[in-house]
Amino acid sequence: MRRIIRSSIYMVLLLVIVSCTKSEKTTVQKKIKMEGNPLFTEFNERIDFNKLTADHVVEATDTIISYLKTEYQTLYNIENRTFDNTMLAFDNLIDDMTKVQNVIYLMSYTHPDSTIRNTALEMNNKLEKYANEISLDEDLYKAVKDYSQTNEAKSLTGYKALFVKETVEGFERNGFALSAEKREELRKIKDNITEIGNSFSKNIASYEDYLLATVSEVKGLPEDYKKARKQEDGKYKIDLSYPSYRPFMKYSESDKARKELYIKYNNRAADSNLEVLKDLLVEREKMAKLLGYNTYAEWRLEDRMARKPENVWDFETDLVKSVKTKADGDYDELLEAKEKYTDATNPKVIKPWENSYVENLLLENKYELDAEEVKQYFPLDNSLDGLFKITQTIFGVTYKEIENPSVWHPDVRMFEVFDGEKLVGRFYLDFFPRENKYKHAACFGMIKGKMTDNGYQIPTATLVCNFPAPTDEMPSLMPHQQVETLFHEFGHVLHQMLTTANLSSQSGTNVARDFVEAPSQIFENWAWNYESLQLFAKHWETGEVLPKDLFDKMLAAKNVGSGLATEAQIFYGTLDMTLHDKYDPTSEKSTDDVVEELKNETTHYPYVDGTHFQAAFGHLNGYGASYYGYLWSRVYAEDMFSIFEKNGILDKETGMRYRNIILAKGGSEEPMDLVVEFLGRESNNKAFLKSLGL
């Protein structure tokens, strides 16, 4: 599960996504003199993470809140309202806050110092609660509403008109149809949601468990995998991070050990998060009903591309029908492989802890594809170099690595993005697993691109992953699936780096949540094209380019299990929607009951008693009632990639059109309008279905 991480301030304060031309105000960093605090920098200055302390985090939080309270009072008291002194000023203040909070949020998930990490989480909670206050501030609403009724506002067009319209609508759908008493009740509910949601995520991030496997139980696993996990007593410590879990489930010949690890993996944070999740659902339902909606999903989807739950349910239902035949065929193929290549006593059923193992046997025997052989051609450094070559070529930019950067961990690397001689962005790479670090792969936005009086504010983001760490004997070798992950997540980075939006509120990835994955999903296709793979897929020892016959085997096997994999995505999406649209969290029916029912209905793999997958389904926090967006946005991603297929995957003209239409504009226009502009036609799902082998 890959995702882009945005602090939930964007769901609270960022009521819209628009743009403008010029900042009337200087930045908060200019106004607040905070000598020595690395969270307050001069304009476009790099953050000095080496100096960061827990005290800095507290100081920055208190200072930015105090500053904003003063500045909002100034905004409220303006008499003759204009776009600049009201709407642009509002966007400036959102940006001032997020520049501080986003870095604090990142530190709460990645900093190795537990004091800084825990303090950052606590301060992030405080900032989110303040954002809740602002979202329910009647004076702020009145300021925006008053401006929206001026002659100037009524004459606006394009992104400015959209900004005003969506800001007013955002305030009103977030509580301003309520009395002051009810708004106070809503604020308390939102504060509860903030605290509960952060606890849910923290419990997942901090959860530690492992399997101590014997020599016989790691039989079948690669030697480098075993060597990295061997303990002094001769056993092997298999933790629950992706680089440990996925290979074990694919290669371990021990059905017993795979089952044990599967159960551990699907019980992450279950000791705490089952109750936390129930509390979260209860509070979200309270909020929705207080706002006049039947369900949380109905409220959440109103400003998304989908607009209403019925459209999502129709989308999921159509998908089930579209993939059923393929999924049935995939399952039959696995059953055949299980009976043919294993000595299992029950070859008529594929257990959930068997699917990766049996699928790998199928790939190795029927399709003659050895994932370990493939991995030798994808050392991380080469893959990153290839990704850089491809994106620099089609988008006309250059990445330069900063030597000895100031970072929060020695593994972290820093790069700057140049368009010609012009610096246009910065990004960090935090690639390897460590204790108490965020467990998945995600892009964390830090500073948004924005036009100011000082010039354009340089966007900054961090790509956090958990790829295999290199050893003394060999580099980090990536399964091809992780190469896809790298390309996918870097798509999010580019969406932030190449923005030209004038408002922070609509910069980069500040687009409708059910479209935000499309600019990342599209990049997975470059990891499946031989023309692009030839640029970087080279054997780590010999330098040999990935042989064409091996690539052909990869391509032939690409859609093995694609129907089952899509079923899994449908399950995730329907679980999320069910919990937020069709489930009463105060009833006797538990979330376990919902998971069991949906898993048995929507997938070929039966629910396993005693597991609690939902406890570590982190998307239920940040992506509540939105997980469907992964498949929804993929339809547009595949459709847009069809233009590259037609014109050439390294065609710079097509790349620049994509950069200028999709990446640069961010949320300044409706996403469907951008897609249609790039395609030159209405969008359809033909390329999406083709990508699944249908």
pLDDT in tens, 503-561: 999 999 999 889 999 999 999 999 999 999 999 999 999 999 999 999 999 999 999 99
Q: Which residues are catalytic?
A: 489
User: How large is the angle between the packed helices 270-290 and 562-581, nearest 10 degrees?
Assistant: 60
Residue 31 confidence (pLDDT): 55
Report if residue 315 sits inside a domain: no
Report if residue 669 sits inside a domain: no
Residues 35 and 140 in one domain: yes
Residue pair 207/616 in contact (Cβ under 8 Å)? The answer is: yes
State what percent of residues in the chain have pLDDT above 90: 87
Average pLDDT over residues 88-112: 96
Residue pair 117/108 in contact (Cβ under 8 Å)? The answer is: yes
Q: How far is C-alpha 212 from the geometric centre of its chain's CA atoms? A: 31
Q: Give the DSSP H or E segment for 237.
A: strand 236-239
∠ CA 407-413-414, nearest 5°, is 80
Residues 160 and 256 in one domain: no
Report if residue 218 sits inside a domain: yes
Residues 255 and 162 in one domain: no
Residue pair 160/83 in contact (Cβ under 8 Å)? The answer is: yes
Domains held by the chain: number:
2
List pLDDT tens digits, range 314-345.
Answer: 999 999 999 999 999 999 999 999 999 998 77
Residue 243 confidence (pLDDT): 86
427 pairs with which residues across the strands? 415, 461
Neighbours of 175 (CB within 10 A): 24
Average pLDDT over residues 177-182: 87
Residue 8 confidence (pLDDT): 41
Average pLDDT over residues 484-491: 97
List pLDDT tens digits, range 250-287.
Answer: 999 999 999 999 999 999 999 999 999 999 999 999 99
Residues 162 and 240 in one domain: no
Strands 398-401 and 450-452: unpaired
Average pLDDT over residues 171-197: 91
Q: Using CA atoms, how far apart are residues 472 and 450, in angstroms rounded to an integer?
A: 43
Whether residue 235 is predicted with pLDDT greater than 60 in this model: the reply is: yes
Whether residue 74 is predicted with pLDDT greater than 90 in this model: the reply is: yes
Residues 120 and 254 in one domain: no
Per-residue confidence band for 28, with pLDDT thresholds at 50, 70 and 90: very low
Per-residue confidence band for 439, with pLDDT thresholds at 50, 70 and 90: confident
pTM: 0.86
Q: Using CA atoms, how far apart are residues 419 and 494, in angstroms rounded to an integer?
A: 13
CATH code of the domain containing 155:
1.20.1050.40
Report if residue 489 sits inside a domain: no
211 phi, psi to nearest 5 deg:
-110, 130
Residues 180 and 233 in one domain: no
Average pLDDT, the chain: 93
User: How large is the angle between the packed helices 562-581 and 309-341, nearest 10 degrees?
Assistant: 140
Helix, strand, or coil (residue 398): strand
Structure tokens at 642: 């069809």
Identify how many contiguous H helices and E strands the chain contains and give both numbers.
Answer: 29, 10
Residues 129 and 241 in one domain: no
**Share in percent of the chain as helix, strand, coil (round to 5):** 60, 10, 35
Residues 101 and 183 in one domain: yes
Q: Which domain holds residue 214?
A: 210-265
DSSP state of 404: S
Q: Using CA atoms, how far apart are residues 436 and 361, in angstroms rounded to an integer?
A: 34
Closest CA to 88 of 19, 135, 154, 150: 19
